[in-house]
Amino acid sequence: MKILTIIGARPQFIKAAALSREIKKHTQLNEIIVHTGQHFDANMSDIFFEEMEIPKPHYNLNINGLSHGAMTGQMLEKLEEVMLQEKPDLVLVYGDTNSTIAGALAAKKLDIKVAHVEAGLRSFNMQMPEEINRILTDRISDWLFCPTDTAVNNLKNEGYKNMPCQIIKTGDVMEDAAIFYGEKASKKSTILKQLNLIGKSYILSTIHRAENTDNPINLKGIIDALNLLHEINPVVVPLHPRTKKLMQQHELKANFTIVEPLGYFDMIVLLKNCSLVITDSGGLQKEAYFFGKFCVTTREQTEWVELIENGYNTIAGTNTEKIIQLAKKALSASFPEKINLYGNGNASQNICIALLENECSLK
């Protein structure tokens, strides 16, 4: 079975690292990796391939720095060319980026089967580009690999059980990666020493969602909260280049510690040793849970509702006072006992088994 895997953004590199490692164990599976180039900065792309030992992409399309429409259009054109040349049995896409929807659309128009890893997630906010991407990708996928019961139920509620597709709960490949790379990261990363954080309490935060960065009021609300929290507990922010540019544009001054985008190992070590996570990232919400850290989410909703329901995560939006209130509450609380929300680190194995069991349906 020839699998064409489409990746392009940082979270997809992490997911692909787990699944590609498992695919290599099966001689019946042959993987061709295509990097769209959506994340092209060395710290946001190259370092992930090196650290996580992801096979070097067979194709790098170098498509980035464009509007959503232009980027998705160029990806469609170039991915179609690759698919016509490679003639895969299956196209595998991850998550909810422009690379995801472009890969799924290009495959479907060529009558190639599509598998969507991380299917069924819903924030129910149609103003988010990611929500549009994940809904449309689900609708044209043949295999819907769901990380949670909630994701499965979302698809069933939308009528997918009556559609020509397979819904399979696999667990979350990001937990596979966290388990596998957790110990390696602690041995290889020197980030705590570099930032003089050894033995110290600090808050780890990220800001990158367009709903926050493109809205000056939202962005100011988050920055003000982090500045005030930094006065009582150091705040460290690996800052997305685009967010940094917009902060300068709107003359928003940061009093907290800003560092360049980090590789996966450095982020894992910062996560494992922090006191709290404040983020608008979907992936980091889960990773905080994997490493037993409370998370305050600076969005109005999250697709990871099970984290909210079980008290591991709270929704703050972008109101300065609310972010500070929830952060202080989390800093003074004990992390509750973890329950099995995302599988036991065997999601990649479950996906490979499902593909091999259904190989005949590709022919």
CA distance linking residue 136 with residue 101, whole number of Å? 7
Element (H, E) at 144: strand 143-146
Q: Which of 208, 230, 240, 250 is catalytic?
A: 208
Q: Look at residue 33 and give its three-state secondary structure.
A: strand
Amino acid, single-letter form, for residue 226:
L
CA distance linking residue 149 with residue 157, whole number of Å? 12
- Asked about 208 being catalytic, the answer comes back as yes
Please count the other Cβ atoms lying within 10 Å of the Cβ belonging to residue 56.
9
CB 239 within 8 A of CB 258: yes
Residue 167 CB partners (closer than 8 Å, separation 6+): 119, 120, 144, 146, 152, 155, 156, 160, 161
CA distance linking residue 8 with residue 28, whole number of Å? 25
Selection from 245, 268, 276 nearest residue 258 by Cα = 245
Reading the block at residue 85, the tokens are 């040349």
Element (H, E) at 351: helix 347-357
Amino acid, single-letter form, for residue 108:
K
Cα angle value 7/10/16 (rounded, 5°): 50
Residues recognised as catalytic: 208
